[in-house]
A and B are shown apart, each in its own frame.
Chain A
Amino acid sequence: MFDPYYLQQLAIGLSLGMTYALMAIGFTLIFGVLNVVNFAHGEIYTLGAFAGLVLISATAPPIVAVILGALAVGALAGFSLERLAFKPFRRFTDEASLKSRAMRESTLLSSLAVSIVVREALEIVFGSQMRSVPFDYLINTPVRVGPVILVTGDFIIFGVAAAMLIGLQYLLTRTRVGLAIRAVSNNPLGAKYVGIDTDRTIITTFVVGSMMGAAAGILMGLYYGAVFPAMGFTPGIKAFVAMVMGGLSSIPGAVICALILGISESMATTFVSSGWSDMVAYGFLILTLIFFPNGLFGARRERV
């Protein structure tokens, strides 16, 4: 007889993986286009959560309105982030600058700077205490599925992550905007020469990616019931690991690796102390980098 304990751990792992995937999707989208890590993605996530919380405490709207509000804030934040941290480094459009590593790495630092400023600003405005979400809004009512207990949020997060993934794949492969995004990600200079508005494409990517980050933030806030300025850090790291394991620019790859991470963490808890379960995640990262330098799903050269 199969021990229901392992089924429960598997279910917890899947749900944990979903929460990582939710963040990894937007993260990977932005990386795929700019080929640079957006360190402020974790803060977009936090901003989304705070926007939702402020909305809830101000007007107590229905949950759909809360998520729409968070999406709007995410879009605005993505747009401003691009303006502030990325656009100034695209002033020079000659080939040498576009290929320059220094130019790319400077956006790595400028996005890190924005992330620090945003986090500290949130701390000044809201304080660094954890804030509770009103209980009516929480999405963690237990649901029993056979021998396994999950919560409503697990299904909502699964639905949202699946919708994001399918929606993005549709956008990227079936629409002109998606075609432009893929062209820019493949060869920004070439895309410019054939008449694609690269600036607009990059901004679009940021807005879409950040909306997803903000949605992830508010969902996690409602799922765990706590919102605080430093909440974006750990999921950011996990999403980063999932992205690297998945081959840096493959969105389905990042999602699958996020699930692998979640499951291996919860399964590892059975055999090693919970304090060591993070080691499993980072161990996987190291193994992937040694044996699959292009990531598990990064064999194809085409990005996004």
Chain B
Amino acid sequence: MTLRLLALTTLTAAGIAGSAFAADTVKLGYQLPLTGDTAQYGQDFRKAAEIALAEFNAAGKPFKVEIVFEDSRSDAKEGTNIARKFVDDKEIVGVLGDFTSGVSMAAAQVYKEAGMPQLSQTASHPDYAKISKYQFRNIATQAQEGPYNAKWMASKGFKNVAVIAEQTDWGQSVVGGFSDAVKANGGTVAFSEFFNRGLKDYRSLISKIERAKPDAIYTGFFYEDGAQFLRQLQQLGIKTPVYSTSAAYSPKLIELAGGAAEGVHLTSNFLPTDPSPNVQHFVDEWKKRSDGAVPGQFPAQAYDAVRIMLAAVEKASPAPTREKVRDALAQTKDFPGVTGKTTFNADREAEKELVKVEVKGGAFVPVAD
């Protein structure tokens, strides 16, 4: 509905502009889960992309951009099919997505063969960007976040830690990146285990963690699993400090976990309370479209990813090609986004500045240490 409305306004705008000069349209693809278990994330990405796109098309650029959204259901097979479809559409010069590392990496194989630039807002598995020179991402990898958090926890005096993560490509990179850094800092990993995403009852796992008597627990989960985990931790009366990755940074975590989220430490690269004008502009636009809800980190990353892609398309125009868009993406330097300045290094990794955050009084509060 909103999409159709948007398409309509885009068309009308194009019609008006068309009278002055032939309005070119550049097409981008966006693969993301719009249905299925992870649909909530994909829906948010689409909303963020629509905000970025509407702004771009309203800015009086010499061409218009259209984004084709395809539903991957977070299924690697589906993701690969979409990738083939995008590759076959000669008008598409760049692709955004997918959501999970697993699906992004499966689709990346297709994009690698076809020479299609791919920019994922969330795929944080270390191997993703290594697939070919066409893969970019707008998120800190676990190879960056793991050591950062390990250092943070070590500075708090937690020597003996437990680590759990969801059983996915991403979860494994959380455990890997973190555990190696803990050992390098001279600490010990007392307990390390994976759970299935969407597990309802963490109490067995929690009892098992507590038997290992860790000083702190490091967790690789998203807000749904995180909220259940934290709540059941509280139910069992366990006070061990919990640290987590930026993946759990969402207002929904606090909404669902309530008081149980108090004192959780995590990292983030987006703070909706940041007073800088572009952040506040995004937060306002988001609130307008979501009944006043505040965006989490993921939609912010999607918003920036779309804008980085649009900037690359603009740089590659007139007559952008896939190769020119790739080169323009690779040259992205100090892009002023809502998730901080983004520069792609030689490995096509976004070097993100991480912020330390703690849940205090029902809100995410930045902390110094």
Q: Which residues of A contact B (CB under 8 A)?
A: 5, 8-9, 12-13, 16, 120, 123, 127-130, 132, 135, 140, 142, 149, 151, 224-226, 228, 230, 234, 265-266, 269-270, 273-275, 277-278
Contacts and interface: CB of A to CB of B under 8 A. Distances in A.
A12 B203 contact: yes
Contacts of B204: 9, 12-13, 16, 265-266, 269-270, 274, 277
B227 A128 contact: no
B193 A128 contact: no
Interface residues of B, number: 35
B228 A224 contact: yes
Decide if the interface of chain B is mainly helix, strand, loop or mixed. Answer: helix
B235 interface: yes
Contacts of B198: 234
Contact of A274 (B196, B227, B228, B258): B196
A120 B235 contact: no
A16 B207 CA distance: 14
Contacts of A5: 207, 211
24 contacts: A9-B207, A16-B204, A120-B35, A123-B35, A128-B39, A128-B40, A129-B40, A130-B224, A130-B252, A130-B256, A132-B256, A149-B235, A224-B200, A224-B228, A266-B203, A269-B204, A269-B205, A273-B193, A273-B194, A274-B195, A274-B199, A274-B208, A275-B194, A275-B196
B201 interface: yes
Contacts, number: 85
B270 to A, nearest CB: 18
Contacts of B203: 12, 266
A282 B196 CA distance: 15
B255 interface: yes
A149 B40 contact: no
A299 to B, nearest CB: 32
Contacts of A274: 193-196, 199, 204-205, 208
Interface in B193-239: 193-196, 198-201, 203-205, 207-208, 211, 223-224, 227-228, 231, 234-237
B57 interface: no
A13 B223 CA distance: 25
B188 interface: no
B236 A149 contact: yes
B205 A135 contact: no
Interface in B19-42: 35-37, 39-40
B219 to A, nearest CB: 13
